Amino acid sequence: MIQPNRLTPDQYAENFSDIHPPFETTDAALVEANRCLFCYDAPCMKSCPTGIDVPKFIKQIATENIKGSAHTIFVSNIMGAGCSKVCPVEKLCEGACVYNFMEEAPISIAKLQRYSTEKAMAANWQLFKRKESTGKKIAIVGAGPAGLSCAHVLSREGIDVTIFEKEAKGGGLMTYGIAAYKVTPEFCEDEVNYILGIGGIEIKYNQELGKDISLADLQKDFDAVYLGIGVGLARQLEIPGEELEGVEDAIKFIYDIRNKGFNLVAVGDHVAVIGMGMTAIDAATQAKRLGAKKVTMVYRRTENEKPCTQAELDIAKLDGCEIIWLAAPKEIIGENGKVKQLVCSKMKLGEEDASGRRSPVDTGEAFILDVDMVIKAAGQMPFEELVKSYQIDNKNGKIKIEKEATNIAGVFAGGDCVNGGKEVVDAVQAGKDGAAAMIRYLSRKGAK
């Protein structure tokens, strides 16, 4: 039966407690920092999409220059605190650590990054001085990682920024789309406020592009516009029974957990999650932590082709989620309008597709899972209709850019609305790149 309020407040608190707790003492952080070899031409730095000088910030921790360490991180990634909690470090900085080749544990880079950035946020150290206002105004659509990163870089240069955000809170994916045991809504709000602390940035909430505001109005009122609208439309399964009660898309499921609270989100006894990306993992693990008796993840390829990281998959396994590889949803069977069973086709791998992965092929065999809830996490789609309505060059809704600029003069874009949905850290870098491109654009415009 699908129902909310399955657990006690203490059980919710335990299930959704910090999955990667911080260093408990300063000494613990110092010991870890002093393990670092401070490599020349450090591979950890090269593997960070925002180019954080990892050896430098760790050396600053080792010498107890915490404020300097936080500055080193924030100058490259103003969302360094949040990224320290959600980045897939095992395939980025920590995965590149030379200790991996010495059969030793890599440096806990994310944990050290969290150590100094959280101290900076707690003490509200404003480590950047805003230049005198230039009188230029830029509009940013979307207060997610790309938009916030872009805004902070622009504000540092004395450019006034107004962000238009469709939700009631800022943070985008960080606030609404990531498992609650990784980052809390309270932390996300603190991070947004810290970023705004530089001054010169205003966020107007409940302002949706195409509904409350138009691109034409923004072009008229501002010197340039940056689109950081992300992706947020769940890909449909397009199978019979998808309209039944108990079929939920993962984006909405995770959004509700973040927005409503644990006890108010209904979850089934036996839940099937379709997909194997990060969103699918977050949905599956949280369904289990909300009190589902059984959670089964269904993925149409093998474990070798999984989009999620091994660390994320391990979380799902430790939470007791079961996994069925080489299976794809075929039909959802209902009773009295509610989900009762999920029919799956057995798959095999065929030839490689455009992504370089072997395509799943239906074997003609099927099996049935008894479930009362199906969560769809088979990918996300860009806002194709919205993008096309403004005649913005795109590929299936993904905005096309050249040096961060769209085909419309003065309109720039970046983040998930361009790349189709990567990591938070990629969006942060896209925001930096967009800001740099707009600063060059304003300079050229002013020179005419």
Closest among 284, 262, 122, 142 to 213, alpha carbons compared = 142
Residues of the chain with CATH 3.50.50.60: 137-231+382-447, 235-380
Distance CA 38, CA 279 (A): 34
Q: What is the rounded average pLDDT of the residues 241-246?
A: 97
Given this model, what pLDDT does residue 355 score?
A: 73
Residues 417, 404 contacting (CB under 8 angstroms): no
Query: Which CATH code, of 3.50.50.60, 3.40.50.2000, 3.40.50.1100, 2.40.110.10, is assigned to 137-231+382-447?
Result: 3.50.50.60
Residues of the chain with CATH 1.10.1060.10: 18-123
Instruction: Name the residue type at position 141.
Output: V
Q: In sequence order, which residues have a C-beta less than 8 Å from that of residue 147 and are 6 or more positions away?
A: 140, 141, 163, 165, 172, 226, 228, 415, 431
Radius of gyration of the chain (CA): 23
Closest among 75, 130, 166, 146 to 404, alpha carbons compared = 146
Residue tagged 């108010």 (tokens):
264
Reported confidence tier of residue 352, pLDDT bands at 50, 70, 90: confident
Distance CA 191, CA 80 (A): 10
**Whether CATH 3.50.50.60 fits 235-380:** yes
Q: What is the rounded average pLDDT of the residues 153-162?
A: 98
DSSP state for residue 111 in the 8-state scheme: H
Given this model, what pLDDT does residue 447 score?
A: 56
**Whether CATH 1.10.10.10 fits 18-123:** no
Residues 89, 109 contacting (CB under 8 angstroms): yes
Given this model, what pLDDT does residue 445 score?
A: 79
User: What interhelical angle do 278-289 and 310-318 show, nearest 10?
Assistant: 20
pTM of the entire predicted model: 0.95
Q: What percent of the chain has pLDDT over 90?
A: 94
Reported confidence tier of residue 357, pLDDT bands at 50, 70, 90: confident
User: What interhelical angle do 109-123 and 66-76 show, nearest 10?
Assistant: 100
pLDDT digits (tens, 9 = 90+) for 23-67: 989 999 999 999 999 999 999 999 999 999 999 999 999 999 999
Reported confidence tier of residue 448, pLDDT bands at 50, 70, 90: low
Distance CA 448, CA 433 (A): 23
Query: Taking all residues of the chain, what is their mean pLDDT, rounded to a whole number?
Result: 96
pLDDT reading at 301 higher than 60: yes
CA 104 to chain centre: 29
pLDDT digits (tens, 9 = 90+) for 411-432: 999 999 999 999 999 999 999 9
CA distances from 76 to 129, 153, 359, 430 (A): 15, 10, 38, 12
Please report which residue ranges of 136-208 form alpha helices under DSSP H.
145-156, 173-176, 185-196
DSSP state for residue 368 in the 8-state scheme: E
94, two tokens? 């920590």
The size of the chain, in residues, is 448
pLDDT reading at 232 higher than 80: no
Distance CA 316, CA 276 (A): 10
pLDDT digits (tens, 9 = 90+) for 327-343: 999 999 999 999 999 99
Residues 262, 12 contacting (CB under 8 angstroms): yes
